[in-house]
């Protein structure tokens, strides 16, 4: 896991405001996420959950407000921040013309991880036996598991995950929750959106609740 300064929050944000198509999604939002935190972003569709995750990941700019990593602006430390970040969006980003193993090997290598471990890592998400199948022949759930397999290799302390449980069965959800707990015990944090209830202890999960602005 990359080195961070425990004296500061892993991620913090001050007075975040997001506007899309002349509509305020959220405003003056203050956030502090520390090592050991699991943070669930809640709210109905269209309220700005994905927008918030993309802002925290440095992929979108807020209308107002700043985001900090280890008390430093992410815009001024983008390379270091991205070395400490694993972001998985709502779409799995799987290439249909590549096999499951080729997709995972490519993604691992792209993020400086051990691509040789792809086959072993696919076992963690129950894709052994499908490693040589073209992704175009696999289901939506299998696409999601190819993307999620990166989590088992990631050394980044900050995980930002948009709907990671989509198309994942109950056993797969439990396995992911167990991985989240292991990750935060090692000093990482997990920020996620999900439409389903987590099976984790209430005291383990912090919540950011977004509501419609009228």
CA distance 117 to 49: 33
The CA–CA distances, whole Å, from 178 to 12, 53, 67, 93 equal: 25, 22, 28, 24
Question: Which structure tokens are listed for 103?
Answer: 């997709």
In which band, very low, low, confident or very high, does the pLDDT at 176 lie, cut at 50, 70 and 90? Answer: very high
The answer to whether the predicted template modeling score (pTM) of the entire model surpasses 0.75 is yes
- Give the pLDDT score at 4: 56
Helices (H) and strands (E) in the chain, counts: 6, 9
In which band, very low, low, confident or very high, does the pLDDT at 202 lie, cut at 50, 70 and 90? Answer: confident
- Give the pLDDT score at 111: 79
In which band, very low, low, confident or very high, does the pLDDT at 195 lie, cut at 50, 70 and 90? Answer: confident
**Percentage of the chain exceeding pLDDT 70:** 97
- Give the pLDDT score at 152: 92
Model confidence pLDDT, tens digit, residues 77-107? 999 999 999 999 988 889 999 999 999 998 8
Give the residue-averaged pLDDT of 40-61.
Answer: 95
- Give the pLDDT score at 7: 72
CA distance 54 to 74: 13
- Give the pLDDT score at 93: 84
- Give the pLDDT score at 108: 86
Q: Is 132 exposed, middle or buried (0-12, 13-18, 19+ CB in 10 A)?
A: exposed
Average pLDDT, the chain: 91
CA distance 130 to 101: 8
């Amino acid at each position: 896991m990359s080195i961070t300064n425990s004296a500061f929050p892993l991620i913090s944000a001050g007075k975040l405001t997001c506007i899309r198509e002349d509509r305020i999604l959220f405003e003056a939002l203050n956030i502090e996420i520390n090592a050991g935190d699991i943070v669930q972003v809640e709210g109905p569709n269209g309220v700005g959950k994905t927008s918030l995750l993309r802002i925290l990941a440095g992929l979108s700019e807020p209308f107002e407000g700043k985001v900090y990593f280890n008390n430093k602006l992410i815009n001024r430390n983008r390379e270091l921040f991205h070395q400490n970040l694993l972001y998985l969006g709502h779409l799995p980003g799987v290439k249909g013309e590549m096999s499951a193993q080729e997709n995972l090997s490519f993604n691992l290598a792209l993020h400086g991880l051990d691509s040789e471990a792809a086959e072993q890592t696919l076992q963690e998400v129950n894709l052994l036996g499908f490693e040589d199948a073209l992704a175009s022949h696999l289901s939506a759930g299998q696409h999601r598991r190819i993307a999620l397999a990166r989590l088992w290799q990631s050394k980044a302390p900050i995980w930002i995950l948009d709907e990671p449980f989509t198309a994942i069965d109950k056993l797969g959800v439990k396995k992911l929750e167990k991985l989240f707990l292991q990750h935060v015990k090692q000093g990482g944090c997990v920020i996620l959106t999900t439409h389903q209830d987590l099976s984790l202890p209430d005291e383990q999960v912090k919540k950011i609740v977004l509501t419609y602005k009228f």
